[in-house]
Structure 1
């Protein structure tokens, strides 16, 4: 397993939010837990993945995600079993939409 941590500043504050868990950990998929956290306006993303050596791809996907949503005071935990970048983006968007009650 590989553990990656991404940290983004410069997000926007959002209203009341409840933690959400989306997806399932299975071959080629992942689960995402998203929750509010006191992070001084930052967004932290913790990834635990079975696919080692893909840090640059994870960085690109997380940077794109942050550009879309610009979350502040949010912690995201991802448990991955080899999901493709498209599936990762889909699950992240699904988690945010569930938490905020809105769509992209």
Structure 2
């Protein structure tokens, strides 16, 4: 099990709390809620070690366009970068619905 933390600047705050996905073989769960300090914080707990650079690249790409402050917890069971990006986008859309 590996745990990683990333922080990103933000300009607004995510509207509401969201939980989506399931932790199962090859997938992940995302818990997203408004941040209290005006920044985005991502905590990743993954069963697959050694992919910190890949996680950083996906999150850097995501936060290059996503500007809401959120506390995000990701429980990963080997999701691909494409799945991670899709789930993050789904979480944001759901929080704004």
Asked whether the two chains share a fold, i.e. TM above 0.5, the reply is yes
Q: What is the CA deviation profile of residues 57-80 of structure 1, one whole-angstrom value per residue up to 9, with x for unaligned ones?
A: 0000011111121222x1000000
SS in 1 for 2:65: helix
Number of equivalent positions: 97
What is the deviation of 1:14?
A: 4.0
In the TM superposition, what whole-angstrom CA distance separates every residue of 1:15-47 from its partner, at most 9, and x where no partner exists?
Answer: 7x22100111000000000001212x2100000
Structure with bigger strand share is 2
Q: Which runs of at least 4 in structure 1 moved beyond 4 Å after TM superposition?
A: none
Tell me the TM-score normalized by structure 1.
Answer: 0.89
Q: Unaligned stretches of 5+ in structure 1?
A: none
- Does 2:12 correspond to 1:7? no
Give 5+ residue unaligned stretches, structure 2.
none
What is the aligned-residue RMSD (CA, Å)? 1.1
